[in-house]
Amino acid sequence: MSLTVSFLDIVKAHKNLKGQVVHTPLISSPALSAIAAADVWLKLECQQKTGSFKARGALNKIASLTEEELARGVITASAGNHAQGVAYAASLRGVSALIVVPKTAPETKKAGIKRYGAELVVYGDSYDDAERYAYELAKETGRMFVHAFEDNEIIAGQGTAALEALLEEPDFDVILVPAGGGGLICGVALAAKAINPDVQVIGIQTHASPPWYYSFREKRLADVVYSDSLADGLHGGITQGNLELALQIVDDFLLVEEEHVAQAMSWLAKEHHLMVEGSGAVGIAALMQGTVPDLEGKKVLTIVSGSNVDARKLAEIIKKHA
């Protein structure tokens, strides 16, 4: 799919989402700034409705559908956060939503999907398995498939998180973005580069799920090996459309280790009293470990993208890294 989303689309989405999403806090972190030798700020999308930035894209997408499409209902596949966003957006419009998640989806995310009244189907061992099955069900049922990241309206909605931050603090030198399917980083890069073409936008993945890291370098969809990850929301493949867009507007992708993600989750809980899932902590992990080069003295924004982590798992991580 060829993506045609623009900065104007993000501005329109920003207007359309007023009153439907939380204008999440943008805070400075003196403690993290001291560790990174930079002026570090956090955009707390972990405090967004449904517990992640995904509500932005889902609401923008649902708002773009025709009455006939809404009447047929919607369907999606997701590791959890996009699913909750779609379920929430559909519930506001009284639209039927069918959600397919892989077996690896955390229980807290499954509970969130059911809370918003969506029908939940658990299928497959990975996001790719769940997505294939969701496409089959879409054909059988006539429902509108809402893609998690390869979609103009989804990307525009996600980009509003960056627009909010940059309207408050427009002079960031570097923005670190958790990179999963690519909806967030493409939206963030579009907004950021339109406001300041010199800003660096860097995606962060884990070694357990590194398709962006290798595909960006090879300039093609690269085959990679996946393994279990704390950053389950970033786990899975990417698409040609998002890759082509990212190659135009993203500066780099970097990788962090699982242990460093766990340390970042624990640090955020202790230092900022934030409950953050692994996917939302990868930027902090990169800053704490010095993964990003040449940051000294620069102003850095990282998107803390979600809070949907099982409480028991987070407690174990905090205990281990106390």
Give the CATH number for residue 208: 3.40.50.1100
Q: By three-state DSSP, how is residue 13 classified? A: helix
Query: If we measure between CA atoms, which residue out of 22, 309, 307, 2 comes closest to residue 164?
Result: 22
Strand partners, 176: 202, 302
Number of domains in the chain: 2
Domain membership of residue 2 (yes or no) is no
Q: What pLDDT, on a 0 to 100 scale, did the predictor assign at position 99? A: 95
Domain membership of residue 211 (yes or no) is yes
Residues 77 and 179 in one domain: no
Domain span at 181: 7-52+152-320
What are the φ and ψ backbone dihedral angles of 242, each rounded to 5 degrees? -70, -35
Residues 95 and 121 in one domain: yes
Domain membership of residue 203 (yes or no) is yes
For residue 165 the two structure tokens come to 């931050």
Residues 130 and 22 in one domain: no
Long-range contact set of residues 261-264: C-beta below 8 Å, sequence gap at least 24: 261/206, 261/229, 261/230, 261/231, 261/285, 262/230, 262/317, 262/320, 262/321, 263/288, 263/321, 264/288
Does the pTM surpass 0.85? The reply is yes
Domain membership of residue 1 (yes or no) is no
**At which of 96, 112, 145 does a domain end?**
145
**At which of 128, 145, 162 does a domain end?**
145
Residues 26 and 61 in one domain: no
Residues 268 and 193 in one domain: yes
Which of 125-139, 177-191, 220-234 has maximum average pLDDT?
177-191
Q: Distance between CA 173 and CA 294 in Å, rounded?
A: 11
**At which of 145, 167, 188 does a domain end?**
145
Residue with tokens 């280790």: 257
Q: Which tens digit of pLDDT belongs to each residue from 33-92?
A: 999 999 999 999 999 999 999 999 999 999 999 999 999 999 999 867 899 999 999 999
Name the H helices within the chain. Answer: 7-16, 30-36, 54-64, 67-72, 81-93, 107-115, 127-141, 152-168, 183-195, 211-218, 240-249, 258-272, 278-289, 311-320
Q: Is residue 322 pLDDT above 80, yes or no?
A: no
Q: Distance between CA 110 and CA 107 in Å, rounded?
A: 5
Residues 42 and 81 in one domain: no
Residues 90 and 129 in one domain: yes
Q: Are strands 26-28 and 39-44 parallel, antiparallel or unpaired?
A: antiparallel
Question: What is the chain's mean pLDDT, rounded?
Answer: 95
Residues 107 and 159 in one domain: no
Residues 73 and 216 in one domain: no
Section 129-158 average pLDDT: 95
Cβ atoms of residues 52 and 85 within 8 Å: yes
Strand partners, 238: none
Residues 116 and 255 in one domain: no
Confidence of residue 18 (pLDDT cuts 50, 70, 90): very high
Residues 194 and 237 in one domain: yes
